[in-house]
Amino acid sequence: MTLSADAVGSGTTGLDIAAVRADFPILARTVRDDKPLVYLDSGATSQRPLQVLDAEREFLTTRNAAVHRGAHQLAEEATDAYEAARESIAGFVGAAPDEIVFTKNATEALNLVTYTLGDDRSADVLGGRALGEGDTVVVTELEHHANLVPWQELCRRTGATLKWYGVTGGDSADAGRIDLDSLDLDETVKVVAFTHQSNVTGAVADVAELARRARAVGALVVLDACQSVPHMPVDFAALDVDFAAFSGHKMFGPSGVGVLYGKQALLNALPPFLTGGSMIETVSMEMSTYAPAPQRFEAGVPMTSQVVGLGAAVDYLRLLGMNAVAAHEHSLVERALSQLGEIGGLRIIGPTTTTDRGGAVSFVVDGIHAHDLGQILDDEGVAIRVGHHCAWPLHKRFGVAATARASFAAYNTLDEVDALAAAIRKAQNFFGVNA
C-alpha cells in the first residue's frame, strides 16, 4: 500500500491515522488470547511500514552489491542507492551529505565521538590541546546510558573530570527537566553533551540555551537526538550543534543502522574510529593516510540495505510531515497525561504539562511493581516498556527502581491511550490497590 499525500495532508494538518496504520501490517495482529495489539513501545523500537520493507527487499533482489567497490553495473547501482539515502537523510536533519556518517546504531555513533576525542590527534578540535587532566566534560542526569557511559570512559582514559547538570524534581509540573541552575560552566569545559528529548521524562531540552552556554566557554556541543528526530522537526545546522546521533530503528527504519552528524570541518579534523578497508586514502607497509569524512568513519562493507531502508523511512516521515507528526503525538501525550493523572496512586515521572514535552510518559503505580504492571498490561494486549530504560541515575534521582513507560508514534490513536488507562485500572483491581 502506498501512502498518498492526500491521506496525510500538507504536513501542517492532521494525519489520516487509518491510512498510516494500514502501512504497518504488524499493528493489525492480535496477542494474548486474540486481543488487539496496542503497541506503546516506540521509544524502544518503532514498527516498520511496508514502504521500508519494500525498499530493502527491492534493493536486495535487484541491486545488491558492495558499495564503493567494483566497476560493474550492480556495484554502481548499489553505490548510487546508498549515497542517495545519505543525501535524503542529510536533508531531513538539516545537514550536508558529507556531514552524515553511518554507524550500526546511535550508541556506536556516540562512542565514535568519545573515542576519537580521547585521541591526541584530536587536539585541534579541542582548542589545540589533547583532552586531559584539568579539563571537564559535562553531561546531564537525564542521559540514556549511551550518552553517559562513553563519556565516563573518556574521562577515565584521559584524566578529565565528568560533571553534570541535575534534574528538576519534587512534585512540580515541570519535574524531570535539565536544571540549568544546577551547574555553572567555566573555561575548563571542553564538551557539553545532552539529550534533545528524554527517553524517560519526555522533556525537550532548551538546546539553544545549552549551546549558548557551551559556546561561551569554547566547548563542543554533542546532542543525543534519538528521541527527537522521529517525532518533531529537527535541523542540526539551525540548532548549531557540533555532533548529534540518532538511530534508524526508532524512526520506522531498520535495525542495525545509526547516524552520526558532525560539522564537516570537525569530522575532517578527527582521527578514524575503526580502521581497515574503505576508509583509507593511501596504504604502505610503513603507514596509512585516511580518506576525508564521511568515508573515514565507515570502515569495511557498510550496512547497505539498512541504509537504503532508513532512506525510505525518512521519505515516509517527510511525506507525513514532521509538523503533522508532532501535532498528532502532542494530542496523544495530552490525552495520556489527562487520563493517567486521574488514576489514584499513579505518579508520572516527568513534566505533567505538554509544553516542551515529547511522547515518552513514564509512571509508577503505588503497590504494583513496574514489571508486574507490565505483565498485566501485556495480558490486555498493551505493550509498554518497564525497567530503568537505560537511565539508571535518573531513576535513582526520583527514588524509584523502575518505571512503566508508554511511548507514542505517528500510528498510535487516542483509543489506544484510553486502552492504556483502562488496563492500568484493571491492574489496580487485580492487585487490590484501588485508590
Residues marked active site are found at 390
228: its cell numbers: 527527537
- CA torsion through residues 133, 137, 143, 164, sign: positive
Amino acid at residue number 155: C
Angle of the 304-320 helix axis to the 322-341 helix axis, nearest 10: 80
Distance of alpha carbon 283 from its chain centroid, rounded? 36
Q: Give the DSSP H or E segment for 276.
A: none
83 three-class SS: helix
- CA torsion through residues 257, 258, 263, 269, sign: negative
Do residues 309 and 248 touch, judged by C-beta distance below 8 A?
yes
CA-wise closest residue to 297 among 276, 277, 274: 274
Angle of the 322-341 helix axis to the 414-431 helix axis, nearest 10: 30
Between CA 313 and CA 361 the distance in angstroms is 24
Q: Sheet containing 385-387: give its strands across.
A: 346-348, 360-365, 403-407, 385-387
Q: Which residues are within 8 A (CB) of 286 and not within 5 positions of it... i.e. 6 or more apart?
A: none
Beta carbons within 10 angstroms of residue 268's beta carbon? 15
CA-wise closest residue to 404 among 362, 345, 358: 362
Burial class (CB in 10 A: 0-12, 13-18, 19+), 44: middle
122 three-class SS: helix
Do residues 427 and 368 touch, judged by C-beta distance below 8 A?
yes
392: its cell numbers: 539508571
Between CA 427 and CA 384 the distance in angstroms is 14
